[in-house]
Amino acid sequence: MAGGGFVAQDGGANYEGRVTAFVICTCLIAATGGLLFGYDLGISGGVTSMEPFLKKFFPSVLEEQNDAAKHESEYCKFDSELLTLFTSSLYLAALIASFFASVVTRIFGRKISMFVGGLAFLIGSILNGIAMNVALLIIGRLFLGVGVGFANQSVPVYLSEMAPAKIRGALNIGFQMAITIGILAAGLINYGTAKIEGGWGWRVSLALAAVPAIAMTVGSFILPDTPNSILERGHTEKARRMLQKIRGTQHVDAEFQDLVDASEAAKKVDHPWSNILKPRYRPQLVLCILIPFFQQLTGINVIMFYAPVLFKTLGFGDDASLMSAVISGTVNVVATVVSIYSVDRFGRRILFLEGGIQMIISQIAVGVMIAMKFGVNGDGDLSRTDANVLLFLICAYVAAFAWSWGPLGWLVPSEICPLEIRSAGQAINVAVNMIFTFAIAQVFLAMLCHMKFGLFFFFAGFAIIMTIFIHFFLPETKNIPIEEMNRVWKQHWFWGKYIPDEVVIGGNRKAEHRDA
């Protein structure tokens, strides 16, 4: 096993090979998986604000919304658990599906998982488009959730495994880029379909989810599987040929040897689930739980799900509300490009820290401003200038998220886990993300009703905690080959003590096999 050892000692980043057109194309196709998730995130807020939709499926909600006497204050205008359940049910399904996806991803490969995800999503979009009653609507949402669970479990792992270490961040963020494009596209589509005469525009919005579904289903046919996954399933020569193809060189011995070592270590492990609980995987376990938790506790989905509702609550008009949502959606897409550019140059930590600080400042400013201008009962008035300043602050917050926690929340968990726990780690990441996406979607309107402007201080508080956490507990992972990550943990002031000396490549990976 000397090959792995020697390569690792000189940093491993010296693997031969170039960035091939082949790898870029496969990663772009795979990244479209993010469209599924993004389209969902963006579509439901708009659909649930369409009257014909509410009239058909949730008439009581509509009645209540229109009856001002029933609200405690303006902050409570849209508070309805039933309605939020429509939005959030999908994330519960995704949460459960991600565990099945982890098994499929490991045993049958990344590409089969993507295929299953695309297909489930397609079925969901058809059911939703033709839904005649609430039951069908919810069943459709559950299928969509299964699609999201499978896609989010497999795509980030696929991207991180295909990519050469030096541009792994940028390629992986293709996934987040697709999420943001999906959200924006959904917002624009809602804007258009809301105007369709006859009140069936919501059907078009929901059925158009078929477009990203078809893209991913077809894409998964064309895509090759990753060398890591081919090897994991025992096809050594095929894996080598694939690595040669994606790196554009015959000389892949060093990198291939590391993949073989990682795969052998993985084979000794029968139960990735009990394995990830061992002390030596403590850093990965903790981060695969805390990163998605913190990502959702930034409060981003308050904006993504409810921007139009939030702006309406604050007294923006109908059109202004939708337009503001489109503006913040555009900022989300554009700011993601910043992270693609910086993540492999300046690293993950600096983006997390800068983004965190910017979110803290803008959230506190939003809270103060709403408190001062809009008042405790929400009966104050926002002038035009106030409204513009508020929109600016919200965009500053969205931009900060979009170049930090947004992309890194998917990138970091997918790159820190060694092969033997990678599928399990990613399933935990998706599951925790979905639980808290669900929770925020479910309780936000109630929180806004009860905590009022204090809600923004609540999220700012979390932003402070997560920024401090990153400062102390997240080592830099840029440019480190994915199968050599142990080195990083070993050198860390806190996590180092959990990592046995032998598992660091450059020591002897065989020792790891012995006691795995």
**Binding-site ranges for ligand BGC (CB under 6 A):** 41, 176, 179-180, 183, 295, 300-301, 304, 332, 406, 409-410, 433, 437
Give least dist CB 184 to ligand BGC, A.
Answer: 9
Give least dist CB 134 to ligand BGC, A.
Answer: 25
3-state secondary structure of 467: helix
Separation between Cα atoms, residue 98 and residue 96, nearest integer Å? 5
CB of 263 or CB of 426, closer to ligand BGC: 426
CB of 243 or CB of 398, closer to ligand BGC: 398
Give least dist CB 360 to ligand BGC, A.
Answer: 18
CB-based burial of residue 140 (10 Å sphere; 0-12 exposed, 13-18 middle, 19+ buried)?
A: buried
Give least dist CB 336 to ligand BGC, A.
Answer: 8
Separation between Cα atoms, residue 485 and residue 292, nearest integer Å? 20
**Closest by alpha carbon to 303, among 184, 145, 147?**
184
**Closest by alpha carbon to 12, among 509, 511, 378?**
509
CB of 137 or CB of 179, closer to ligand BGC: 179
**Helices 59-66, 81-107: crossing angle, 10 deg rounding:** 130
Retrieve residue 462's tokens: 């979390």
Give least dist CB 159 to ligand BGC, A.
Answer: 14
Name the residue type at position 495: W
Give least dist CB 396 to ligand BGC, A.
Answer: 15
Give least dist CB 362 to ligand BGC, A.
Answer: 16
Give least dist CB 410 to ligand BGC, A.
Answer: 6
CB of 65 or CB of 433, closer to ligand BGC: 433
Residue 460, H or E segment: helix 454-473
CB of 102 or CB of 404, closer to ligand BGC: 404
CB-based burial of residue 198 (10 Å sphere; 0-12 exposed, 13-18 middle, 19+ buried)?
A: exposed
CB of 31 or CB of 304, closer to ligand BGC: 304
CB of 141 or CB of 487, closer to ligand BGC: 141
Give least dist CB 47 to ligand BGC, A.
Answer: 16
Separation between Cα atoms, residue 161 and residue 163, nearest integer Å? 6
CB of 326 or CB of 382, closer to ligand BGC: 326
Give least dist CB 284 to ligand BGC, A.
Answer: 19
Cα–Cα distances (Å) from 116 to 33, 217, 352, 383, 504, in that order, read: 11, 8, 33, 50, 36
Separation between Cα atoms, residue 475 and residue 452, nearest integer Å? 37
Give least dist CB 359 to ligand BGC, A.
Answer: 13
CB of 17 or CB of 46, closer to ligand BGC: 46
Separation between Cα atoms, residue 175 and residue 38, nearest integer Å? 10
Name the residue type at position 101: A
3-state secondary structure of 129: helix
3-state secondary structure of 418: coil
3-state secondary structure of 511: helix
Cα–Cα distances (Å) from 115 to 111, 185, 224, 445, in that order, read: 6, 23, 12, 35
Separation between Cα atoms, residue 169 and residue 341, nearest integer Å? 9
Sign of CA dihedral 238, 242, 244, 245: positive
CB of 85 or CB of 371, closer to ligand BGC: 85
How many Cα atoms occupy the beta-carbon half-sphere of 217 within 13 Å?
Answer: 14
Give least dist CB 402 to ligand BGC, A.
Answer: 6
